[in-house]
Amino acid sequence: MSTAVEEAEKVAGSSDEVVAVKRPVDGETIRELPVADAAEVAATAARLRAAQGEWAELGFAGRREWLERLRDWMLAESERIADIMQAESGKVRADATLEVPYCADAINFYSANAAEFLADETPSAHFPALKVKRLRITRDPVGLVGVISPWNFPLILSLGDAIPALAAGNAVLIKPSELTPLCLMAVIEGWKQIGAPDVLDYVNGFGETGGALVDEADYVQFTGSDKTGRLVLKRAAETLTPVSLELGGKDPALVLRDANVERAANGVAFGGLMNSGQICMSIERVYVERPIYDEFLGKLTEKVEALRQGADGRTYTADVGAMTSPAQTDIVERHVTDAREKGARILTGGRRGDGPGDWYEPTVIADVDHSMDVMRDETFGPVISVMAVEDAEQAVELANDSRYGLSGSIFSGDVKAAERMARRLEMGSCNVNDTLINYNALELPMGGWKTSGIGTRHGRDGIRKFTRTRSILSPRGPELDSEILWYPITPAKRGFFAKVTRFFGGRGLGRFGIERRG
């Protein structure tokens, strides 16, 4: 009898389509890769699945060793990996060299904490009659995790999720973005070079390849647009496969009248323009209290005008890079044109580069309002739109007036008041007097409300979601021959049971020191 792997291999093959990877800084094609069709996805999934059992049996200590070897390999190769990433994404050096350190840190974080996050739990029973039982929760890996990733952080948003999934004992198959598959491919070559078990691989392609991966996976970790997220959720519904969706954002910054305006302008410039504004958590909307509006705009414009845009190789001499795709540049151009036509003021930038390649000038737009695309839809480019508000209340109201709810920032001289205000913002994460940095606090869950997603990454739940729980209930001590609820049912037994449940179900619980949680 042939194995699942052999069966899948019989029908495996690549389609005739290719993924043409381009260099955004000049538009040249740098590599063409075969597209994996559904059969190839199935074959690769079956191969990884076949190795997953042994990987799980290695135990966390064994798996940690392989992840730490990968970390060391990546750190040794980090300059080469950044070169590849720059070529396919158009990032400046400063942005491209952030991804390996994040992945190394994620390995260290889960190395230090995963044993605790995955350990059995033994809660004590809340119901007195169950005090004679031992309750235990165990966690098993789900099996094969499918990771579908976007192009803006080609390693952080692919390998970054694979790390906790692998640590939990799963095999992982990644479908990188068709725009930026090369640096992930290089890292997976590294996994193979260090001789690690065959539980991590990639398949290249477009939406159909991603869809085929949804069909094969036991859990889907998707990062991308909300439009595609909906398609993934629908497809996963066919097989009742659980999903985590990390989707788009339209992140606001609220700059209050007591803020350090210099810090706020620096923070917003970085939070809005890092990675050419191509970050789900980019600051795209800024609400500034009127008394400091002009001062803030002046400082922000001055800082943005001073930025250097270009391709800087390994030299760290540019601040803002290229756009990664012409399609995204089209969206940016459309949004800025819409704002201009509706009366907004472009204080700096506002023009697409002449080419070759894909460029858009770092841009500050003032006097925007919520009728404009730049304040409603995800721009995902180097554009910061600023609006005056009468007071902090209006800032909160406008910040919440969005279908997205990923993250945001509050700048204020009163940190406690800002923390209270953060609790009123409809978003998964909020930075006080900072931008973007919550992504590196791996203890904190990171995920979106509303159209920004379902589920979270990072922290305890960022690894637990890749497991299935099993609840085991067993006796703590000697047992009777029968139980009150077991047959035969008699009036005396059921009468006694009714009294007991009324007693424990009501105030009687208090007598046993069991408090109600409010």
Closer of 19 and 84 to ligand NAD (Cβ):
19
| Conformational region of residue 458, where left means phi above 0, alpha means psi within -120 to 50, and beta covers everything else | left
Smallest gap from residue 378 Cβ to ligand NAD (A): 5
Rounded-to-integer distance, Cα 180 and Cα 78, Å: 17
Residues 6+ apart with CB under 8 A from 191: 70, 200
Which is nearer to ligand NAD, 160 or 357 (by Cβ)?
A: 160
Buried b (16+ CB within 10 A) or exposed e, 162-190: bbbbbbbbbbbbbbbbbbbbbbbbbbbeb
The CB-of-155 to ligand NAD minimum distance in angstroms stands at 12
Euclidean distance between CA atoms 382 and 336, whole angstroms: 11
Helix or strand or coil: residue 400?
Answer: helix
HEC assignment per residue over 107-166: HHHHHHHHHHHHCCECCCCCCHHHCCEEEEEEEEECCEEEEECCCCCCCCCCHHHHHHHH
**Least separation in angstroms between CB 72 and ligand NAD:** 27
SS3 79: helix
In the bound complex, what is the minimum distance in angstroms from residue 45's beta carbon to ligand NAD? 14
Residue in the shown chain whose Cβ atom is closest to ligand NAD: 210
- Beta-carbon count within 10 A of 477 CB: 7
Return the H-helix or E-strand segment holding 450: strand 449-450
Q: Please state, in angstroms and rounded to a whole number, the distance separating the CA atoms of residues 102 and 179.
A: 21
Question: Which pair of structure tokens corresponds to residue 448?
Answer: 């979106």
CA 512/CA 123 separation, integer angstroms: 17
Q: Which one, 267 or 448, has the nearer CB to ligand NAD?
A: 448
How far apart are alpha carbons 423 and 403 in whole angstroms? 18
How far apart are CB 105 and ligand NAD at their closest, in Å? Answer: 17
Asked whether the beta carbons of 436 and 90 are under 8 A apart, the reply is: no
| Binding interface with ligand NAD (CB under 6 A) | 148-152, 157, 175, 177-178, 206-207, 210-211, 214, 223-225, 228, 231-232, 246-249, 280, 378, 380, 406, 448, 453
Return the active site residues.
246, 280
Tally of CA atoms within 13 A in the half-sphere of 395 that contains its CB? 29
- The position carrying tokens 């803002």 is 320
Measured from the CB of residue 166, what is the shortest distance to ligand NAD in angstroms?
19
Do the beta carbons of residue 255 and residue 289 sit within 8 Å?
A: yes
- Give the span between the Cα atoms of 439 and 153, in whole angstroms: 12
